[in-house]
Homo-oligomer: A and B are copies of this chain.
Amino acid sequence: MKEIPHLTFDLDTLGVSTGHLVVPKGADCEALSLPVFSLNKGEGPRLLITGGNHGNELEGPIVARRLVEWLPEAQTCGRVIIVPEINPLAVQAWTRNTPIDGKNLNRAFPGRADGTVTERIADAVSRVLLPMADTVFDFHSFGPTWDTPSAIITHPIANADLMAKTLRMAEAFKLPVTLVWEYHDTPGMFDIWAHSQGKVFICPEFGGGTVSTEALAIHEAGVRNALIALGLVEGKAEHPTFRQQKSSQTLETLLSDELRSPARGIFEPRCSMLDEVKQGDLIGVLHSMESLSAGAIDIYAPTTSIVYAIRSGAYVEADEEIVYFARPLKL
């Protein structure tokens, strides 16, 4: 008999339970067992939290693990399901995509039961976990080679009611930035699939670069604020302190706000996340790998805007993304 994706325990059990989500074996690898935590306090909101969708974004798994520690003391109603690493193969390899099939889990939804391992993970999450939740937090970050603030990102949603609910939920985190991001490469993303199922889907992008204890405290405070807003936890929401400030701003990034490298080489940032730049400001320099006599290529801000994310010093290919700009959201 063919195995189907399933949980090794019963989510209806009251209180804390832990076990695994089994992703069946396929032609490319054996079955996977993803550790799952469930805290069922009966009636109330139903929340699914996932981390480790991309394997080199460790902020999410760590914040998820911390939640597992303190939630049993704090949660007063409803259900929370936590899967700290939905792609353990990528986490163990510290890679964005799954090493076995080279696929990006966040482009594989809703998945395929008879597909490659990445597609089977997406299928298991879509079939077994997603139906159990009304709201999803899928923890991401910009990864090690970007300079970005801790933020909640949402794509624009055609359904106006779902968009309004999502934006309200996003702002409840009170992270330094809430961003509505018009993005080109969305087919197969977890949020797009969850929206089609009527879910409120929140994508925290917990900054980039070093996963420090100070940064983790900000991310965790944001999640606590969101749990308070959902009514799962009691308490008073507070802005975390970021760069000596306690404030949030809601921004938007349009398709035209993406800046790509004019050539391959080493990118040197000349500005930082959240800098306000004027059209024509020098924001970075691209150094050729082939020659030192060619001179570097100066890169200027195409418009007056805010730097949402900038590549930290990194080798980049031609036409690779190096900066995302943003501007205050007009509603």
Contacts and interface: CB of A to CB of B under 8 A. Distances in A.
Nearest to A69: B296
A25 to B, nearest CB: 18
A134 B314 CA distance: 31
A314 B65 contact: no
A65 B145 CA distance: 19
Given A59-B313, A62-B266, A268-B62, A35 B210 contact: no
Given A266-B62, A289-B85, A289-B92, A312 B212 contact: yes
Contacts of A110: none
Contact of A292 (B84, B285, B289): B84
B292 A37 contact: yes
Contacts of A5: none
A94 B61 contact: no
A274 interface: no
Interface residues of A, number: 52
Given A287-B61, A289-B91, A293-B18, A211 B313 contact: yes
Q: State the majority secondary structure of interface residues on A.
A: mixed
A88 interface: yes
B289 A94 contact: no
B292 A58 contact: no
A172 interface: no
B211 A210 contact: no
A12 B268 CA distance: 31
Contacts of A210: 144, 146-147, 208-210, 312
Contacts of A66: 268
Nearest to A211: B313
Contacts of A36: 292
Contacts of A88: 289
A259 interface: no
Given A65-B268, A287-B84, A314-B58, A147 B292 contact: no
A65 B147 CA distance: 21
Interface of A: 18, 33, 35-37, 55, 58-59, 61-62, 65-66, 68-69, 82, 84-85, 88, 91-92, 94, 144-147, 208-214, 216, 266, 268-272, 285, 287-293, 296, 312-315
15 contacts: A58-B313, A62-B266, A62-B268, A62-B287, A62-B313, A65-B268, A66-B268, A91-B315, A208-B210, A209-B209, A211-B312, A212-B269, A212-B272, A213-B269, A216-B313
